């Protein structure tokens, strides 16, 4: 990368770091908005476990995007092949093709978990249900529910591996399409050579906010728990807020997300009245 290009758009300079910090905060705000709109709402503890996977993977992906953008720019001899332009390309690839690849891989892996009865490894299953016997009478009480951090760690690692595989596929595609992408990005940003800060704003803030907001919203629907088996019906009250679960016409509980992509389930009201509330806010 020549000195002229580096002065035009510095991804790792003070302005770039400030703008990228603002990007991270605004993008994370998308998940807060999603939680407010979803019915029923996940409890804060469960929501944080779900979204923390994307926070971790987004940090890894962001670092890789910077490295990839700078590496591709250094390979170019033309001034148009700068790091900002390549970062723009990687964001577009990440938030479109990357989302599709990641979600497809997660669905495929979880189907194999179903086949081999490894449901505990499916994303969103952080629950450990323990039998609860009355010590005096040995009568069985409603089961105790605890958060299984070990399960969350395994699911996080699975998601990070998926994201890394998707990133390698996208990097290969960008390398293969290097010549046409260089020409395209050169034309896209040719009019912004005299406005480096506007270019920086478009590349590191506006485009990522729109793309990452879409990516976070869609990925969250796959990472949250959407299906509850009969054995997991007690988890329902510990995962969602009670007032959002009641279906007034039927008097039953049901789950669905705001995009209507989740499986639905109903459980009788009387069977969950005595549930432990340790997962609630």
- Cα separation, 154 vs 255, in Å, equals 25
Residue 195 pLDDT: 81
Using DSSP's 3-state secondary structure scheme, residue 153 falls into helix
Decide if 2 contacts 76 (C-beta within 8 A).
no
Residue 275 pLDDT: 41
Residue 101 pLDDT: 97
- Give the chain's residues under pLDDT 70: 1-17, 19-20, 69, 72-73, 75-82, 134, 136-139, 141-144, 229-281
Residue 248 pLDDT: 43
Residue 209 pLDDT: 86
**What CA dihedral angle connects 162, 166, 168 and 174, to 10 degrees?**
-170
Helix (H) or strand (E) holding 128: strand 127-133
Task: List the one residue out of 9, 147, 133 whose CA is nearest residue 69.
Answer: 9
Residue 100 pLDDT: 96
Residue 267 pLDDT: 34
């Amino acid at each position: 990368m020549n000195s002229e290009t580096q002065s035009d758009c510095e991804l790792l300079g003070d302005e770039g770091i400030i703008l990228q910090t603002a990007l991270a905060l605004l993008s994370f705000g998308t998940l807060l908005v999603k939680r407010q709109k979803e019915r029923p709402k996940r409890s804060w503890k469960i929501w944080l476990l779900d979204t923390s996977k994307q926070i971790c993977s987004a940090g890894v992906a962001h670092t890789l995007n910077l490295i990839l953008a700078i590496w591709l720019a250094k390979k170019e001899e033309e001034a148009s092949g700068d790091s900002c332009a390549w970062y723009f390309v990687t964001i577009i690839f990440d938030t479109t093709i990357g989302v599709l690849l990641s979600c497809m891989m997660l669905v495929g892996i979880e189907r194999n978990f179903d086949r081999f009865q490894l449901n505990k490894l499916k994303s969103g299953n952080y629950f450990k249900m323990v039998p609860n016997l009355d010590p005096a009478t040995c009568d069985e009480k409603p089961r105790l529910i605890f958060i299984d951090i070990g399960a969350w760690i395994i699911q996080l690692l699975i998601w990070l591996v998926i994201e890394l595989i998707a990133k390698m596929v996208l990097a290969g595609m960008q390398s293969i399409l290097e010549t046409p992408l260089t020409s395209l990005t050169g034309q896209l940003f040719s009019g912004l050579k005299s406005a480096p800060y506007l270019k920086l704003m478009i590349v590191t803030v506006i485009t990522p906010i729109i793309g990452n907001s879409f990516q976070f919203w869609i990925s969250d629907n796959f990472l949250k728990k959407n299906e509850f088996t009969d054995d997991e019906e007690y988890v329902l009250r510990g995962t969602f807020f009670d007032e959002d679960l009641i279906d007034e016409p039927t008097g039953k509980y049901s789950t669905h997300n705001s995009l209507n992509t989740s499986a639905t389930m109903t459980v009788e009201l009387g069977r969950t009245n005595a549930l432990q509330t340790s997962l609630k806010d």
